[in-house]
Amino acid sequence: MLVGFFFFLTISVITRPSRAAVESFVYGGCSQVKYAPGTPYESNLNSLLTSLVNSASFANFNNFKISVPGSGPNDVVYGLFQCRGDLGGSDCRDCVARSVSQLGVLCVNAAGGALQLDGCFIKYDNVSFLGVEDKTVVMKKCGPVIGYDSDELTRRDALLDSFAAGGQFFRVGGSGRVQGVAQCVQDLSVSECQDCLSDAIGRLKSECGSAAWGDMFLAKCYARYSDKGRYSEQGQYSKHDDNDNDDEVEKTLAILIGLIAGVALLVVFLSFCSRVLENKSGK
């Protein structure tokens, strides 16, 4: 009984995604247009942000057009959120809530804003962008050049090409050491998603070359790869920096050691109680 319980706790600790990694900042931006506090637009925006968080409890994507009674056509707010395709409901909601909180600080009184965390994306504006394909590069990063051999480059390119050829909004996979992930915002059509990802992947391969990892974020899609298993089909998240990985391992080991020590103390206590009872019954 105790062994089974301990095994369950151990597996839960190892496989649960790190919240810190899921909520790590990727990029953010705000529109130059401002709204005045206390206006109907602010009320609409607050209603939108609340709707994003609430909806994230049971869906990985949703979009809204908010216009509360009494507000005019210029006060309409458009917005959406999307979580990484393998993120669970509670983690998705926490990530979106974190994004809303950060945008509140980043984009004070801005009529539009967008924020991408590792696990989720939110955007709002006073001009409709819903269903509009946008291949503007908003963030790109390439890791250090490690000199992939021809086999590894072939694996990476084949993996990325498979993402471009797929028919889903979220794609994750790996080939050898190379693993990657790609995703479109789901207000696009399937054909628009393919077009966006093809552009992102083409840029990623040409601009990052033989880098150890690469990120290419366009306004409505992204593609990322790593040769160190930064992504996995179990929804695990790790960071570029090996020191961060070491910290996560140390935290996990500390938790496991604490669990082992707790179980050991419980066994000793039960054994002691059993001996006391035996001594009393013997008398």
**Is residue 100 a part of any domain in this protein?**
yes
Domain boundaries, position 196:
137-226
- 141/117 same-domain check: no
**Is residue 94 a part of any domain in this protein?**
yes
How far apart are alpha carbons 170 and 181 in whole angstroms? 8
pLDDT value of position 273: 66
* Domain at 92, CATH number: 3.30.430.20
pLDDT value of position 17: 46
Look up residue 184 and give its two tokens. 């479109």
- 103/172 same-domain check: no
- Per-residue pLDDT band for 148 (boundaries 50, 70, 90) equals low
**Is residue 62 a part of any domain in this protein?**
yes
Residue 118 above 60 pLDDT?
Answer: yes
- Please compute the mean of the pLDDT values over residues 146-164 and round it to a whole number: 83
- 26/108 same-domain check: yes
Look up residue 57 and give its two tokens. 């409890």
Last residue of a domain, one of 79, 102, 125: 125
Could you report the per-residue pLDDT of 214-267, keeping only the tens digit for each? 999 999 999 999 986 555 443 333 434 434 444 444 444 445 545 655 555 665
- 111/151 same-domain check: no
- Per-residue pLDDT band for 177 (boundaries 50, 70, 90) equals confident
- 114/200 same-domain check: no
**Is residue 169 a part of any domain in this protein?**
yes
Select from 157, 166, 169 the least CA-distant residue to 201.
157
**Is residue 240 a part of any domain in this protein?**
no
pLDDT value of position 176: 83
pLDDT value of position 106: 95
- 30/97 same-domain check: yes
More confident residue, 73 or 250: 73
Select from 139, 157, 161 the least CA-distant residue to 149.
157
- 70/151 same-domain check: no
Q: Which is it for strands 170-175 and 137-142: parallel, antiparallel or unpaired? A: unpaired
**Is residue 174 a part of any domain in this protein?**
yes
- Please compute the mean of the pLDDT values over residues 273-281 and round it to a whole number: 64
Sort 151 into a burial class: Cβ within 10 Å, 0-12 / 13-18 / 19+: exposed
Q: Please tell me the total count of domains within the chain.
A: 2
The CA-based dihedral angle spanning residues 153, 149, 181, 122, taken in that order and rounded to the nearest 10 degrees: -100
- 110/189 same-domain check: no
Could you report the per-residue pLDDT of 204-226, keeping only the tens digit for each? 999 998 888 999 999 999 999 99
